């Protein structure tokens, strides 16, 4: 993470200006979307609570039922004190362009899985994404194994969003098998693209 400390102060407006200049990005609220396709939605988020300005990466599988963008799988990449005048934004611009060069390589379900492993992302949402990704890739043996492991060792997911989506997936699986689940993920992907990419 890049921490510019007291020597370089960027306010929210200056950081937003740098983010809005990223080539090919689309602004949606406080999110700046760089990749949005049938499998991955990713980019950066600007957060400016009292006392600071933060830039975080976000990456989500488009084939999850996503009603809002969030940073569960991303990380904070820059932070600035929230007070003071805007200063030179060249460092942030350089940081974002270099970070995006690497980060944007996660453009499909396989590279999303590689990102999760490389960055050692953990937690209930990460496990849920791995499960969905195994289904999406057709690796149903691993999906079954992860589902059994998750249900036996953790019980129901603690995250409400994951619990709701898992309930929907398991219901479809009970009625229509894995083919039905894969069709559901395709519908969720279409929903994501319609909601965030157009």
What Å distances lie between residue 114 and 46, 118, 173, CA to CA?
25, 6, 26
Examine the pLDDT at 62 and tell me if it is beyond 80: yes
Specify the pLDDT at position 83.
57
pLDDT digits (tens, 9 = 90+) for 15-46: 899 999 999 999 999 999 999 999 999 999 99
pLDDT at 120 over 90: yes
Q: CA 45 to CA 31: how far, in whole Å? A: 4
- Band (pLDDT 50/70/90 cuts) for residue 157 is low
Whether the CA torsion 50, 28, 14, 72 is positive or negative: it is positive
């Amino acid at each position: 993470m890049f921490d510019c400390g007291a020597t370089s102060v960027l306010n929210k407006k200056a950081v937003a200006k740098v983010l809005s200049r990223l080539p090919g990005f689309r602004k949606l609220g406080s999110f700046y979307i760089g990749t949005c396709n049938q499998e991955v939605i990713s980019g950066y988020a600007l957060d400016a609570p009292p006392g600071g300005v933060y830039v975080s990466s976000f990456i989500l599988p488009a084939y999850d039922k996503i009603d809002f963008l969030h940073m569960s799988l991303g990380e904070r990449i820059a932070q600035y004190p929230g007070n003071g005048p805007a200063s030179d934004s060249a460092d942030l611009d350089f940081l974002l362009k270099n970070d995006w060069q690497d980060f944007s390589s996660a453009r499909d379900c396989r590279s999303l899985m590689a990102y999760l492993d490389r960055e050692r992302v953990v937690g209930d949402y990460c496990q849920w994404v791995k499960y969905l990704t195994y289904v999406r890739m057709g690796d149903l043996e691993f999906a079954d194994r992860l589902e059994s492991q998750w249900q036996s060792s953790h019980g129901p997911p603690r995250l409400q969003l994951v619990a709701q989506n898992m309930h929907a997936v398991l219901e479809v699986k009970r009625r229509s098998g894995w083919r039905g689940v894969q069709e559901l993920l395709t519908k969720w992907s279409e929903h994501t693209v319609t909601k965030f990419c157009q």
